[in-house]
Amino acid sequence: MRIAPLAIAVAVIGVLAPGAAPGADSTAIAPASDDRIVLSADGETLTGTNGGGGGSVGWLHNFDADTLAGIAAEHQTLFTSHWTFGSVNGAITRGAGDTRYSVYGDAHEGAGDDGPHAFHYSIEAVGVIGTFYRRLSVQLEDKRIDVETIHGNLPKVGLSYLWDPHLLTSLSYMYSLNGNLGTRLTGARIDKYGSSVNLLAGAAFGQASPVILGTVGSELVVLAPGHRLKEGYVGIDKLFPHLRSDLSLVADYQDLSGSKRATLTLTYIFHLGNNGKST
């Protein structure tokens, strides 16, 4: 495998485990109306390359406490590859009492090149989260990935439990159904919420590329095994209510069958208007 598709694959996998759906956090308390500017920057290393980095700028709007929409633009580089894309996302929550349902979706569309070849970048996801008894949440999601030579659907099922207002634990499993993703990932995450500081930590492991099969004579044999992924990440989010701002830092480490990638991402959120406040 050429280094460029592998680099893109590692980058895509990196957003699968730590990511959260907009509006999916069962502990979030959104204001009736809120506008946020979201800025992020990241730097990363990758085995056998000079690494890369990137940044994004976005806008999120709460139409009310149960309806969210946003747009963003992002640019990333990794070794000889670079890509730029725009994104849209939204979520709506309905229900009352102890049972609520959130439907969400997002789309990332753009393009890039790996040096000699241009490619299209497209990732879309839709999902639903049901929250029961204000503590247990069940997530069903389908993500479509079409990036460089990587394509396929990646369904996900997740369970989250809010033990008290300060502690949330989550488990997830993703299994690709078609294309050449060859992905089977199990993930776990814990979130600790405080009055001004939130902490998170998580891990994922499993297969993250397809096994290549072929024939020798009349026998079907494995020509190349699938790559194994081991990933861990930690993060901290600091709230600054008097500045109407949030600042978060997330460190992510992946080992994809010996190809190791480390990423550090800094995100700043500023709440606009008189109603702006950190949540």
Residue 66 burial (CB < 10 Å; 0-12/13-18/19+)? Answer: middle
**CATH number of the domain residue 177 falls in:** 2.40.160.40
Q: Tell me whether residue 277 is in a domain.
A: no
User: Is 183 domain-assigned?
Assistant: yes
Mean pLDDT of 257-275: 86
Please state the rounded mean pLDDT for residues 54-59: 95
Q: Which of 42, 71, 62 is nearest to 235 (CA)?
A: 42
Give residue-wise pLDDT tens across range 4-37: 555 566 666 555 545 443 434 444 444 556 899 9
**Domain for residue 226, yes or no?**
yes
**What are the tens digits of pLDDT across the range 234-252?**
999 999 999 999 999 999 9
Q: What is the pTM of this model?
A: 0.86
- 180 part of a folded domain: yes
Asked if residue 154 belongs to a domain, the reply is yes
The verdict on residue 243 lying in a domain is yes
Examine residue 279 and state whether it is found in any structural domain, yes or no. Answer: no
Is residue 62 domain-resident? yes
**How many structural domains is the chain composed of?**
1
Whether residue 232 is predicted with pLDDT greater than 90 in this model: the reply is yes
pLDDT recorded at residue 116:
79
Of residues 271 and 12, more confidently modeled: 271
pLDDT at 190 over 90: yes
Domain encompassing residue 162 = 3-272
pLDDT tens string 82-136: 999 999 999 999 998 889 999 999 999 999 988 778 989 999 999 999 999 989 9
